[in-house]
Structure 1
């Protein structure tokens, strides 16, 4: 196996492993959305039980988008690389740790959505994941890791990687005022991401 083929093989192994972590984490989110338990089992009782699960629905959809958005960025970045080194591997492992842990703060905020502690933990973890993701993307821009012609895309996506940090910081700040206010930046995360990704107009 040539050095180039070996580098490609190692990169693919790392990408496959990362995809598996993303897939497992995003699947585990639904485990916390349970069937409603009602006594007696009437139409009205089931409807009320489903309504009571609204915080869990919101937690699932928000975190599904968050993890999905992280995966899209990760997929794009790794598609512009030609090799890996120990620095990239360890930064990737640390970032994947935040993804694998994401179902826990999601369950916490889904069950205790009216508390500052639960919402603060969720927003803080989102911010932490965003920081590690940004560090990973910026490291990928250095040295000979980037494939020819891929450096410009990596720079642009690294800028877009700041969106989860912005959302997390805003959600944490809003949560300290009122836990329910934190839903504003969390539910607006697709809009915030689109604004960060927007290309500046040429002067």
Structure 2
């Protein structure tokens, strides 16, 4: 997250060399300021979810460690497409690299949760909640994919399609309801109706 500020620091140096005023700096670097704010917010959201998930992980296996490293690689790479967004003309490939990186981050997050579903002894999180979190990740991946499609078609305003992510909670609840109806009659313990998505099962 801290690396995102580096292009703006370079822009300040350039503005000083050009003897720009503060107002002129902000006007000239509006794209970089937008890309910084957008990426900072997205990474913050990924980090908070990561912290919540791993706070309840009781043991790390080599497989889970490598999934975590893959997730971290996408986070480390994100400042590069962020700098592209702020400093270069927008084109479909740029949007594909930027939003595609976000999709890979979400896929790595999903992979960790699917691994924990198969190894519930590694976490103190109730399996019913892990399943709900899986639905949230799948919903986010779907919406990122839609945003990418819209961005490629509407190049100039494409990044605003990322506001679709505000629908993640709604889509996740719909997926939870769908999955709970398609897997009835489990022999496992039934979870109460008060949980999002209706009745569920817990191992």
Judge same fold: TM > 0.5, yes or no: yes
State the match for 1:15 in structure 2: none
Give how far 1:96 is off. 0.8
Does structure 2 conserve the Cα–Cα contact (< 8 Å) formed by 1:167 and 1:185?
no
What is the 5 A alignment of 1:49-88?
49-88=25-64
Whether 1:47 and 2:32 are equivalent positions in the alignment is: no
The one-character-per-residue Cα deviations of 1:72-129 (angstroms, maximum 9, x if unpaired) are: 1111111222212111111111111111111111111211252222122101111122
**TM-score, structure 2 length as denominator?**
0.74
Q: Structure 2: where are the runs of 5+ without partners?
A: 174-195
Match status 1:195 vs 2:195: no
1:97 pairs with 50, 73, 79, which one?
Answer: 73
CA contact (8 A) 2:138 2:172 kept: no
Report the counterpart of residue 146 of structure 1 in structure 2. 123
Distance in 2 separating the partners of 1:113 and 1:167: 24
Higher mean displacement: 51-60 or 191-200: 191-200
Listed as ranges, the matches of 1:1-203 within 5 Å are 26-33=1-8, 34-35=11-12, 37=15, 41=19, 43=21, 46-143=22-119, 144-147=121-124, 150-189=126-165, 191-196=166-171, 199-200=196-197
SS of 2:41's equivalent in the other structure is helix
Q: 1:165 offset after TM fit, Å?
A: 1.9
Structure ranking higher on relative contact order (CA contacts 8 Å, 6+ apart): 1
Q: Deviations over 1:136-161 (max 9, x none)?
A: 121122222122x5322222222222
Distance 2:154 2:34 in 1: 17
The 1-side partners of 2:107 and 2:24 are apart by: 39
The gaps in structure 1 that reach 5 residues or longer are: 1-25
Across the two proteins, how many residue pairs are aligned to each other?
Answer: 173
Structure 1 CA distance, aligned partners of 2:29 and 2:150? 23
- Cα gap change, 1:131/1:200 in structure 2, threshold over 3 Å: closer, same or farther? same
Residues 89 and 39 of structure 1, relative CA distance in 2, 3 Å threshold: closer
Distance 1:167 1:110 in 2: 23
**TM-score of the two chains, using structure 1 as the length reference:** 0.74
